[in-house]
Structure 1
Amino acid sequence: MSQELHRSVLLREAVDALVTDPDGFYIDGTFGRGGHSAAILEQLSPSGKLLAVDKDPQAIDYARDRFAGESRFSIWHGSFADMDRAAAEQAGRVNGILLDLGVSSPQLDQAERGFSFMQDGPLDMRMDTSRGISAAQWINTEGEAEMARVFKEYGEERFARRMAAAIVRRRAQKTFERTLDLAEVVKEANPAWEKGKHPSTRVFQAIRIHINGELDDLRNALEKSLQLLAPGGRLVAISFHSLEDRMVKRFIREKERGPQLPRGLPVMDSQITKTLRSVGKAVKADDVEVDENLRSRSAVMRVAEKLSEN
């Protein structure tokens, strides 16, 4: 898939929920190939501003080329977990933050990036190819127990220990270098294939999440969003698997409820500081979008609004 054919999931729904002030300052936490950024810019006035963030050096280069000459747009190379650093040079509070989580279509579709169990490529999986260890380095050196923990916790893989053992046995004979090699070993170790799902899906997801620190980044980004958002500003998060969605849902619920005080304290609900309110219900892609873009079928979008200074 070419970069131009990349489809941003829940594009209109996300931008409509995000942009409440055309003159405001917004952050697109995962630029990807700029679908959401382009739609946000369409909604902004000449005085509005958009800061985009991405780990992927390819995305940074693409952004600089696609939006060259767009004075309302700037791009920052790094994780959205550090978006406070990215926004430090921008004047004023933030009116909206969009977090489009997970891996982008161009990353999945380029075999050389090593994300796909369907195409043969070097076993890399790093979103930021300029730093960190590759999936191959991790797979070839990690202990069996820790590997099984990662598969179970981040991939929700019930045969995690069995798969980790198979990987350790095989690497003792020959190290892993290619994606299809790893996928084949995991497939052979999986005794119960799920209908419609490749038997390596959960393990590849787990490795990717671990290698890129995705859940830690999300946890930090959610907290940073509270610091950055102005009262009335919106947080829009699009998740693609249950681990991310549970984290976003729990964060919004906790901030909407406020700090939990010991029972019996003479405190009225109106006296509890609440920093977010949920906006609407969780949104999923409709049948038309799923038909056009199969990857949208697992997407869940949640929206929250900043209530007060924390």
Structure 2
Amino acid sequence: MAFTFAFKRSYHPYLYLLPSVIFLVLFTYWPVVYSFGLSLFRQSVISPVPVFAGFGNYRDAFQADIFWTVVRNTLFFVLGTIPVTMVISLMMAVLLNENLGWLRNVYRVAMFYPTMIPMAAAAMLGVWLFNPGIGLINHYLGRLGIPPRQWLYSMDWALPAIMITAVWKNFGYFMIIFLAGLQSISTELYESADLEGAGFFQKLRLITLPLLGPTSMFVVVVGVITSFQVFDLVYVMTQGGPADRTNVMVYYIYQYAFRFWNIGRAAALTVLFLVALIGFIVLLVRSMEKKVHYEV
């Protein structure tokens, strides 16, 4: 009887986990394995019958000049948006954490509102803002005496325009995370610092930023994953143009899979993208975790 009771207690937790495990296997792990299998075959509209090619799709991907252009664009997008988004999010969180009375909740909703907008709608808004003829960006630049730019049609400014839209769309989400981290810091630390005569920037450097280490690491990891996966903004605003200057990895994979119907190459690019993303995050976490303080 005791053995039966112990056996029931031992497998019951796994039954509760079973739905999540099945979901992960079917929609996460199996697609990864299946994509790797597809990447070993050549299959396209021209040759619909799969032909084993080994690592030929990977070799062809590395030999294509556009592949390195896409990699450069993706890294530029990630390294350009993450720091800016974090700085703006942290600044807004610090300001909204102050005692602003009833206006504090109004400001929080206003800052968080862009996050609730669908990505496609944010992209359409970006198309309008950066329109060379009727866009607000060129309108206000003209008032400052700056000549208008062909933002989304310029090889130099198209990707920065998408990056600006991405920062505006995402900073509210990270602001809320930073705000939650700020509210978990004991007010006694700030009161002690005030008694010692510490100023705002001293408290920010010596108390706020160190104790926001775990929150900052979470924001960086989530931000990197989000930036690497950018697709909607590129698809709506530029479709990778002009001359592939805004073509990023996920959009590049989409082109091979659903425009060129080269399934083998698309699967190989997917595997490379996944390996690069995991490796980038592992290196990032290892470099940051030594500087993270989980206790006061």
Would the TM-score normalized by the shorter structure come out above 0.5? no
Greater relative CO (CA pairs within 8 A, separation 6+): 2
Give the structure with the higher percent strand. Answer: 1
Give the structure with the higher percent helix. Answer: 2
What's the TM-score once normalised by structure 2's chain length?
0.28
